[in-house]
Amino acid sequence: MELSSYVGLKEKDIVSVVGAGGKTSLLFQLAQDIKNNNGKTLLTTTTKIYLPQKEVYDFLCIGENEFSKYAKINEKVVHVYGAGVNAENKLLGLKERQLDKLVMYFDYVLIEADGAKEKQIKGWDNHEPVVYGRTTKTIGVVDIQTLGMRICKNNVHRSERFCEITHSREGESITLEHLFNVIIHPQGLFKGAKGEKILFINKAEDVYYLDKAVQLKNKIDRCCPKALDRIIIGSIKNNLYYV
């Protein structure tokens, strides 16, 4: 099945993706699935993302003055919108009021709602993530291959916040318990989440990491059975998924 089927994607869904370790790849895969099924998609951000490669989208719209004109194009393809592009070649995010004016024109809306400075895992500052108010599904991405990684500023975005959330210390190695805390802590992965809460455990790309991902899922099911609406284990890179 396609990733969109595992997510349970429905027409008029507004999906916000948070976390680290595969957010952008997940969004691009969902956009491709929707296009394959003849849907019209808005792909955007409420923070900042690198400008996507041309093969990802069909229409690119930069600047609020152009939004309504391009939104009315009825082709069932992928539209990428940004408020601007900065010196780092990053697409600048849309505000709530801008999204409110746009979502009606699209069958699906996909939003990258979190930043991680290209790190595989993170902690969250007070202003993060930036989840759009009309979101129907919040997907939180966790990279299972961060297990064993040393907790430090080079490896973990906002490592001091990560330590507070996970009850860990700088220099320790990341454990399943730390990942569990990241997921279920009120100030963690699903802070400010709207709609269905879907966990995607990414990079389960061999037997070892698949087993660790299943252990993590089982701990969540056992300790917090009502915390999440759905848990998906898989590898976006290999386009392989398990519920």
- pLDDT confidence of residue 72: 82
The pLDDT value given to residue 130: 97
Under 8 Å between Cβ of 21 and 120 = yes
Q: What is the pLDDT of residue 243?
A: 81
Q: Write the CA distances from 71 to 51, 68, 103, 134, integer angstroms.
A: 19, 5, 9, 18
Q: Residue 157 pairs with which residues in a beta bridge?
A: 122
Residues 6 or more apart whose CB falls under 8 angstroms from that of 2 comprise: 33, 36
Tokens 């041309």 label which residue? 54
Question: What is the full per-residue pLDDT of the chain (243 aa) written as tens digits?
Answer: 899 999 999 999 999 999 999 999 999 999 999 999 999 999 999 999 999 999 999 999 999 888 877 888 888 999 999 999 999 999 999 999 999 999 999 999 999 999 999 999 999 999 999 999 999 999 999 999 999 999 999 999 999 999 999 999 999 999 999 999 999 999 999 999 999 999 999 999 999 999 999 999 999 999 999 999 999 999 999 999 998
pLDDT at 109: 98
Q: Which pLDDT belongs to residue 199?
A: 98
User: Do 26 and 236 contact (CB within 8 A), yes or no?
Assistant: yes
The pLDDT, as a whole number, for residue 145 is 98
Give CA torsion, residues 198, 140, 136, 13, to 10 deg: -90
Predicted local confidence at residue 71, as pLDDT? 83
The predicted structure's pLDDT at residue 66: 81
pLDDT tens figures, 139-177? 999 999 999 999 999 999 999 999 999 999 999 999 999
> Which pLDDT belongs to residue 238?
94
Q: Of the candidates 193, 152, 214, 148, which has an alpha carbon nearest to the alpha carbon of residue 175?
A: 148
Give the type of residue at 13. Answer: D
Question: Concatenated DSSP letters for the chain?
Answer: --HHHHHT--TT-EEEEEESSSHHHHHHHHHHHHHHTT--EEEEESSEEEPPPGGG-SEEEESHHHHHHHHT---SSEEEEESEE-TTSEEEPPPHHHHHHHGGG-SEEEEE----TT-SEE---TT-----TT-SEEEEEEEGGGTT-B-STTTEETHHHHHHHHT--TTPBP-HHHHHHHHHSTTSTTTT--SEEEEEEE---SHHHHHHHHHHHHHHHHH-TTS-SEEEEEETTTTEEE-
For 188, half-sphere exposure in the C-beta direction (CA atoms, 13 angstrom radius) is: 23
pLDDT at 234: 97
Q: 86 is written with which tokens?
A: 């900065």
Contact criterion met (CB below 8 Å) for 99 and 136: no
* Residue written as token pair 């093969």: 55
